[in-house]
Structure 1
């Protein structure tokens, strides 16, 4: 738009706004049931924006974005009006859901990563409720052990399927096998995961960490894609385990953090796309009793190792939640149709710090995870400090000290 061609329009606009200003009330708060009158300041602000647009020689898209910037800032004031009734609505709906959780007795639940840790405990929680289970993991022998215990707890029918969630063919196979065996699928629990603990700069070859994304992200996406038609048919639910690290960006876990952030955003998007056809619950747990908090992780070479000194250095003074407690909260959240779950709940305060004061969050993490030349020595010091002060027994379940960790 040429500046010269804008002047006639500007003249008309200025004249109209001047007339409107002359008739406007300085305060819009007076008056009864009549129409709201624009204040002088509001009219001046609108005139300024209009003048900027008409005098501009920039492309139309830039002009529109200039207006949207102005409008968006002012729309934030609506939050003061919107939030109170919104939270009343949230509390009301939560109360209704709490009063009537889903009865999963006889329903079919497929759980990935079910051979240990949180996945194993989720299987037991569903078994208590009488659900039929399809247990998936790479370690078939461990799955049969979990299946036997789940059957004793109360599950009427259990299917064990060995499979690798990072393999699309395996995902198709274990979903299809589940549907063929039970005739339906009601809940899909995406739980499988793998973590790395190493400084990014010390990694010899980043290609060694493709497996982190393959297991954590694609290992949830592939089963979901295969199971979705069956879940839509049953009006079922999807659970996916992201991580607090997706929000907090924990040092030494860059690949893991990225994969869990991808999981979080993918399933938020999927929830919008599916509308209400399939429920989706996303968990962002903190440190939970699992093989990872027992010291099992990927080293800087991308190989699996068990290093409890490194675990003590990474987990530090953060309390570790028992897997059973976490699984109980997860199954309860799924049955109540909750959108999000954070265990333990105090991590939500850390999420707010990360969002509202990111610089402060960065500084605190840099202090907590200091990188020095003697990193191995620091790991040993962390372990000795935890043991000498007796804090370790308070912060970590006794199972974390066990050397009996399932491999591959």
Structure 2
């Protein structure tokens, strides 16, 4: 019993150490930030948090009218600078163009926050491989394009790439084959890039944020009728991502307990799959 008690205390101490909040808001004040997919959802909430922290922002998405409204709100909230560049990440020419324009507008770059995603079907796989290619360009290839173009600038500023990924890039569930495939690709690429930058002694950090179900309107509309899994607030997820990037974490999880979800993923695969399948309606 004494040994079990000691192990329990050790587990509590280690957990408290791992999840302590070391974020300094002043570290973001004046930082030059590009946030993609910022016209709505998590990206919009990140823009507002960065604004409250006094950052210099460029946001991007497809809809110019929505970007204008977000920029106006960012200035009201205290952003030192808030600008937008519209772009369509399904167009292979746009990712690098947006990155170059953002760097020119900000005079450099400290944070590249890759958050945008394309619309993906939610339901049984229908065999549409053409749309897999389209979504791969938006959700994955454009991430690699922007990160590659940003690395020389981020190297000069000791900057960071912050990648918004998903629990669906770590483990699979029904109804999201196309989306999950793009997130597995994102995790694979940026996990590898973390190793290579470290081996090269690079100044650039890469943070991969693994998110569970977030209560954005798009996500809620898709899962309605399919599952009763509890969603978590987009505003809290957005702040978590900002803190993880600013503290240069290699990987973060929101909600926090998904660290354990990923940790135990492969321990009991049969039970895991039964639990997952029973969490969805078909």
| TM-score for both structures, normalised by structure 1 | 0.61
196, 203, 212: which one aligns with 1:277: 203
1:14-72 deviation line (CA, Å, top 9, x unaligned): xxxxxxxxxxxxxxxxxxxxxxxxxxxxxxxxxxxxxxxxxxxxxxxxxxxxxxxxxxx
Query: Hey, what does 1:343 align to over in structure 2?
Result: 254
Aligned residues: 266
Structure 2 runs not aligned, ≥5 long: 1-9
Tell me the distance in 1 between the aligned counterparts of 2:256 and 2:91. Answer: 34
Q: CA deviation at 1:198?
A: 1.7
- Write the distance in 2 (CA, Å) between the matches of 1:91 and 1:349: 15
- The one of 293, 311, 316 aligned to 2:219: 293
Equivalence for 2:123: 198
Alignment partners' CA distance in 1, 2:197 and 2:92: 22
Which of 239, 247, 272 is the aligned partner of 1:328?
A: 239
Q: Is the 8 A contact 1:280 1:337 kept in 2?
A: yes
Say whether the 8 Å CA contact 2:27–2:246 is kept in structure 1.
yes
Which of 225, 245, 263 lines up with 1:313 in the alignment?
225
**Which structure 2 residues correspond to residues 102-121 of structure 1 after superposition, within 5 A?**
103-121=27-45
CA contact (8 A) 1:165 1:222 kept: no
Deviation at 1:100, TM superposition (A): 5.1
Q: Which has the higher contact order (CA 8 A, sep 6+)?
A: 2
Correspondent of 2:140 among 214, 217, 220? 217
Q: Give the Cα separation in 2 of the matches to 1:369 and 1:154.
A: 42
Distance 2:61 2:255 in 1: 26
**Equivalence for 1:256:** 179
- Given that 1:108 and 1:131 are in contact with CA atoms closer than 8 Å, whether structure 2 keeps it comes out as yes
Change (3 A) 1:98 1:347: same
Matched, 1:129 2:22: no
Pair member with larger Rg: 1
Q: Which consecutive aligned stretches of 4+ in structure 1 deviate over 4 angstroms post-superposition? A: 99-102
Give 1:210 deviation, angstroms.
Answer: 1.9
Question: In structure 2, what is the equivalent of residue 156 of structure 1?
Answer: 80
Residue 348 of structure 1 and its aligned partner are, at CA, apart by 2.6
Shift of 1:289: 1.9
Q: Per-residue deviation at 1:322?
A: 1.1
Residue 169 of structure 1: CA displacement?
A: 1.6
After superposition, the CA RMSD in angstroms is 2.2
Pair 1:365 & 2:276 matched? yes
Tell whether the 8 Å contact from 2:23 to 2:246 is kept in structure 1 after alignment.
no
1:353–1:361 CA contact under 8 A, matched in 2 = no
Q: Which runs of 5+ in 1 are unaligned?
A: 1-83, 297-310, 372-408
Q: Distance in 2 between matches of 1:277 and 1:356?
A: 36
SS state of the match for residue 355, structure 1? coil
Match in the other structure for 1:308: none
Deviations 1:202-223 (A, max 9, x none): x153213322211111121111
Query: Is 1:172 matched with 2:84?
Result: no
